[in-house]
Amino acid sequence: RNFKRQMECRIDIEGLNAPFLAIYESLIPAEEEKAKQKQLLTLLEKLVSKEWPKARLYLYGSCANSFDFSKSDIDVCLTIEEADIKKSEILLKLADILQSDNLQNVQALTRARVPIVKLKDPVTGISCDICINNVLAVVNTKLLRDYAQIDVRLRQLAFIVKHWAKSRGVNETYQGTLSSYAYVLMCIHFLQQRKPAILPCLQGMETTYSVTVEDVDCAFFDRVEKLRDFGSHNKESIAQLVWAFFNYWAYCHDYTDAVISVRTGNIISKRLKDWTRRIGNDRHLICIEDPFETSHDLGRVVDKHSIKVLREEFERAADILQYDPNPCVALFEPY
């Protein structure tokens, strides 16, 4: 059945290229929004360096990996080498500094899984989360941004998938569905697997960029300007790719044994990673290997209820693209 479905993409799927591209274009943030983000970062750098001259601020997450929608919040990482001060004390001090400079809604969340300070800048209207020394996130942000520069179809596909996930309520890690980061990795892996491939495996190539963070070696090829033609042998359109993406996750992925791995550019086996059974809260019902923290399964948030929700949503999307006369309406219908 799966094989048959795969061969039978709707003949008029190409009619969806224009609407998908229109959605993509409408979600891209305007240049002036990016300028306002920079302006806020500059203000924060000024305030932070008064207290900690050696500290640095990095943007990470979607605002820096090129997968952000218009009007997104920004994620900032403060790197600081005060080994003797606890993270929570730095966060409280930081909250103090920001508060006294008229930033709004300043809140230190010292007990969160990733402790942060939240704030809103009244001048630009931008909200921001600041975390401390989360350097792996800064590095995986660069990896995603570098992939996005190789073939524009990655950014287009990921925008459609993120927009679908947000519309359908399956982009909520606290409810057991997947993070935006996980969805982008699913898109990268999917494009690595197309025949011919649309994306290479940057971590499998010659190392041109390398850092060691918390004992993790992060090494990959980052001269992506040399890879601009990489995907040109594959002529698939965005509509075909969106169709094939949902068809893959609905009807072709082996949920029992497969782990998707951007690091290797391949599917690897759950047995190989010892992800075959539940350990603590990690159930490994859908497995997405983090490219650097390879013991992290980004599907670990998914439980026995939400895996059903997720798979039903994949099937719904695949079926809409297969049979619905007006797929764009149904695909992004608020849940």
Residues that bind ligand CTP (CB under 6 A): 60-62, 65, 67-68, 72, 75, 137, 140-141, 179-181, 298
* The amino acid at 238: I
Comparison of 74 and 90: residue with beta carbon closer to ligand CTP: 74
Which CB atom, from 19 or from 29, has the smaller least distance to ligand CTP? Answer: 29
Q: Does 178 bind Mg ion (CB under 5 A)?
A: no
Question: H or E element: which one contains 317?
Answer: helix 306-323
Residue 37 binding target from Mg ion, ligand CTP, none, CB below 5 to 8 Å by type = none
- Asked if omega into 196 is within 30° of 0 (cis), the reply is yes
- Sequence letter at residue 146: D
Residue of 61, 176, 200, 265 that binds Mg ion (CB under 5 A) = 61
Note the Cα 126 to chain centre separation in Å: 20
Residue 129: CB minimum distance to Mg ion, A: 8
Name beta bridge partners: 322: none
If the CB atoms of residues 65 and 177 are measured against ligand CTP, the closer one turns out to be: 65
327 binds, among Mg ion, ligand CTP, none (CB under 5 to 8 A by kind): none
* Binder of residue 179, out of ligand CTP, Mg ion, none (CB less than 5 to 8 A by kind): ligand CTP
Least distance to ligand CTP, CB of residue 307, Å: 17
Inter-CA distances, 44 with 47, 89, 103, 109, 247, Å: 5, 18, 10, 18, 44
- Per-residue interface string for the shown chain with Mg ion, residues 127-146, x marking contact by CB under 5 A: --------------------
- Of the pair 69, 332, the CB lying nearest Mg ion is at 69
**218 touches 211 (CB < 8 A):** yes
* Residue 27 to residue 29: CA distance in whole angstroms: 6
Report how far residue 283's alpha carbon sits from residue 279's, in angstroms, rounded to the nearest whole number.
7
Dist. CA 66–CA 155, nearest whole Å = 8
How is residue 29 written in tokens?
């943030």
**Dist. CA 298–CA 189, nearest whole Å:** 14
When CB distances are held under 5 to 8 angstroms depending on the partner's kind, the choice from ligand CTP, Mg ion, none that residue 306 binds is none
Residue 62 or 306: the one with the smaller Cβ distance to ligand CTP is 62
Give which of ligand CTP, Mg ion, none residue 181 binds (C-beta under 5 to 8 Å, depending on kind). ligand CTP
Give the nearest distance from C-beta 213 to Mg ion in angstroms.
20
Which residues make beta-bridge pairs with 267? 260
Question: At closest approach, how far in Å is the CB of 6 from ligand CTP?
Answer: 29
Nearer to ligand CTP by Cβ, of 227 and 298: the residue is 298
CB of 180 to ligand CTP, least distance (A): 3
* Cα→Cα distances 332→188, 226, 313, Å: 22, 36, 11
Select from 35, 54, 37, 57 the least CA-distant residue to 45.
Answer: 57
Chain residues in the site for Mg ion (CB under 5 A): 61-62
